[in-house]
Amino acid sequence: MYKQLEQRGMSEPPVNVSTLKKMKDEHEPIACLTAYDASFALIVDRVGTDLVLVGDSLGMVIQGHDTTVPVTVDDIVYHTKVVARGLSRAFLVADMPFMSYSSPDQALDNAVRLMQEGGAMMVKLEGGAGQLAVVEHLAQHDIPVCAHIGLKPQSVHKIGGFKVQGRDPDTARRMVDDASALEAAGADILLVECVPNEVGKAVTNNITAPVIGIGAGPDVDGQILVLYDVLGITQGPLPRFVQNFMLESDSAMEACGRFVQAVRDRSYPSAEHCFS
Ligand code: KIV
């Protein structure tokens, strides 16, 4: 491992699940971004992003769809493969698209593709208690899993839009319980999207696995944003939690570096990016 690192001129070892766990335990914020191609992967890796997600958000920002629903396993395999070529240090996570994990065996087959063909080190799937059997099956096969709760964009047609989740006490409590159950089933990381600060905090304090937030307030273990939002490329109305880091930057590299720094020093997210 280290010989390879020396050959690649790297001073720091690659991030792995233990690194992320240690960062949670030591209260060091984890900086995460999405990426979809090798050039941007190289940039986000260079500025010290800890975790890079090949998100199914690529359906919206790359393919021009209104939702993430049309994204296929082949799409994610392709983008994961090209992102992997740009990374040296960051931990690479690939999204499992809509209906690619509707049974434990289907999930296993598709997760294997994302790891073997794409080069992913972890797969992410959306779902709470309903996905426990799938998470357990993947974990039994030593496939690292990130479970995505809160706003689940693949369920957009069922929930009627991209809305803040967990505002009522019952849903909030269920989300905290789901997070514990997912961790017990073998999830290594949780990702919580679009929830009030208090819910992000409760989930984070209730489990030992790192919790990455997007619109989940400041009291989570790490922050993730969609790269094209950070770079001000995405057009139209943007979610409240987005910050365009390009506004005060001269280059994409500088904007991504500012994002990583803002996560580390906890200046992002500020109150204007949060939900109550
Ligand atoms: O697909 C994606 O990019 C995501 C982010 C919203 C975290 O899941």
**Is 224:268 a contact under the CB 8 Å cutoff?**
no
CA-to-CA distance for 134 and 237, rounded, in angstroms?
35
Inter-residue contact 29 to 264 (CB < 8 Å)? yes
Pair 126, 117: CB distance under 8 Å? no
Q: Report the C-alpha gap between 55 and 130 in whole angstroms.
A: 21
Cα-to-centroid distance, 19 and ligand 1 (Å): 21
Counting Cα atoms < 13 Å in the Cβ hemisphere of 173 gives: 3
pLDDT tens for 92-126 read: 999 999 999 999 999 999 999 999 999 999 999 99
Q: Given the CA of residue 214, which atom of ligand 1 is nearest to it?
A: 7
CB of 217 shorter than 6 A to ligand 1? no
**pLDDT value at residue 12:** 80
What is the per-residue pLDDT across 32-46, written as a single tens digit (0 to 9) for each? 999 999 999 999 999
Which domains does the chain carry?
Answer: 15-273 (3.20.20.60)
Q: What is the DSSP letter of 239?
A: -
**For position 1, what pLDDT does the model report?**
39
- Please tell me if the CB atom of residue 56 comes closer than 6 angstroms to any atom of ligand 1: yes
Reduced to 3 states (helix: H, G, I; strand: E, B; else coil), residue 54 is strand
154 Cβ closer than 6 Å to some ligand 1 atom: no
For residue 56, the CA-to-ligand 1 centroid distance in Å is 6
Nearest-CA residue for ligand 1 atom 4 is 55
Q: Are 87 and 46 in contact (CB under 8 A)?
A: no
User: Which pLDDT value is given to residue 223?
Assistant: 98
The protein residue whose alpha carbon is closest to atom 1 in ligand 1 is 55
Strands (E), the chain: 30-34, 51-54, 91-95, 122-126, 145-150, 189-193, 211-214, 222-225
Q: What is the pTM of this model?
A: 0.96
Mention every residue, 6+ apart, whose C-beta is less than 8 A from residue 145: 122, 123, 124, 125, 135, 138, 139, 186, 187, 188, 189
Predicted local distance difference test score (pLDDT) of residue 215: 98
Quick one: average pLDDT of 189-217? 98
pLDDT band at 2 (very low <50, low <70, confident <90, very high): very low
